[in-house]
Amino acid sequence: MFHEAYEAHFVRPGIRVGYLCDNNPDCWGKEYLGVRCISPAELEKLEAAVVIPLVGKPEPIEQQLKQMGIPMIKPSRLAWDLIAGTPRNRDWFHEQIPKIKQFYRFLADERSKELYIDLLCNWLTPEHSRKSYRELYAENQYFGAVAEGYRIGEMEILCDVGAYTGDTIGHFLETTNGAFEQIYAFEIEPGLYKQCCEKIKSFPQNIQRKIQCLNVGALDEAKTISMGWEEHGMADSNGILRVENLKLREEERQTGKTVRLEDALEGKPITLLKMDIEGAEQAALRGAEGLTSAKAGNLYLPSSAGYVGDTIIFETAGSGISDQHSASFERRFY
């Protein structure tokens, strides 16, 4: 796991790792890809050291670093800086304060407001958080319990943007017990699109006939984009995430086509819009203005928003939204 994570995120132009560190004495003094591994005792002697834990269960390491008085950055917090090219420094935070306050006022219920604050603290200043990500976790990431008035009906028309391997479609079928009108699924990565189609083929024929899956992504214009390969561990680069920020090597790149949802659906009604496209939500929504207007009917807008206070959500979500936490650093907005 370490080798895959390290090579995927840190073996890139412009990123320099000073040292590796391990509790295992057998690793001390050895090198991995030209970087020497030191002991915790040596780590304590370094000036201005910051540690990024790359282990499956980071809690013991986090506690150890806290006792040593060494600051750390969780990989999840670093991810958006590397991928989206958005700095999380003091100046950035002060610029976001008006959006954060605006978004807070827009939340529909007290539960969502409390959750939003807890998630912001975990994301920006985890040492001041009242609850951990694990304590805030919601099991059903898209169709779990949310604010009163936001419920899945029996004849929903789902537009699934970022269909992945069809997992969301499967959860949707479980939630609706197969009682829905139509599903339009969009997945730009060829390997994931193939898996999604295979998943759909596993459903009964009467369900298959109501699902249309397209091998395209969604943005605010139809074009060809450069993105990462799922098989190279770079699926997070699909969508609008820019390969220059990811510093992808040539062999890690491929191209894919995007569409405007409003054009692709040709006026077809949508009652439920799910987006999980790694930071591309704002651009995709700009290409779906007709779908997210009042005439679209009951609209849900889950989004793994990589940015605090997505202003376009303010314009499209209606009278209020509910917040749900579903992963290590994601917020789902409804």
Task: Say what the pLDDT of residue 38 is.
Answer: 95
Specify whether 166 is located in the same domain as 45: no
Residue 238 lies in a domain: yes
265 and 157 together in one domain: yes
Pairing of strands 331-333, 323-325: antiparallel
pLDDT, position 118: 83
Contacts of 268 (CB under 8 A, 6+ apart): 157, 182, 184
- Please tell me whether residue 13 adopts helix, strand or coil conformation: coil
Per the structure, the complete domain to which residue 234 belongs is given by: 151-299
The answer to whether residue 117 sits within a structural domain is: no
Same domain assignment for residues 171 and 283:
yes
Do residues 227 and 246 make contact, with C-beta atoms less than 8 angstroms apart? Answer: no
State whether 69 and 157 are in the same domain. Answer: no
Last residue of a domain, one of 46, 73, 100: 73
Domain count, the chain: 2
Alpha carbon separation from 157 to 61, 153, 298 (Å, rounded): 46, 10, 10
| Domain co-membership, 65 together with 157 | no
pLDDT of residue 276: 80
**pTM (2 decimals)?**
0.66
**Residue range 204-212: mean pLDDT, rounded:** 96
- Are 64 and 177 in the same domain? no
Mean pLDDT of 180-204: 95
Burial code of 204-219, b = ≥16 C-beta within 10 A, e = fewer?
A: eeeeeeebebbbbbbb
C-alpha 56/C-alpha 37 separation (Å) is 19
Using the 3D structure, point to which of 44, 73, 102 is the last residue of a domain.
73
Question: What is the Cα–Cα distance from 218 to 237, expressed in whole angstroms?
Answer: 14
Average pLDDT for residues 311-315, to the nearest whole number? 40
| Single-letter amino acid code for the residue at 222 | A
Percent of the chain with pLDDT over 90: 29
102-156 pLDDT per residue, tens: 878 877 778 778 888 887 787 777 667 787 767 776 666 666 654 445 567 788 8
Angstrom distance (rounded) from CA 229 to CA 242: 13
Please state, for a pLDDT cut of 70, what percent of the chain lies above it. Answer: 67
* Residue 250, domain CATH: 3.40.50.150
Q: Are 239 and 227 in contact (CB under 8 A)?
A: yes
Domain assignment of residue 250, yes or no: yes
Class of residue 245 by CB neighbours under 10 A (exposed 0-12, middle 13-18, buried 19+): middle
For the stretch 215-271, pLDDT in tens is 999 999 999 987 766 554 444 444 444 444 455 666 667 888 999 999 999 888 888
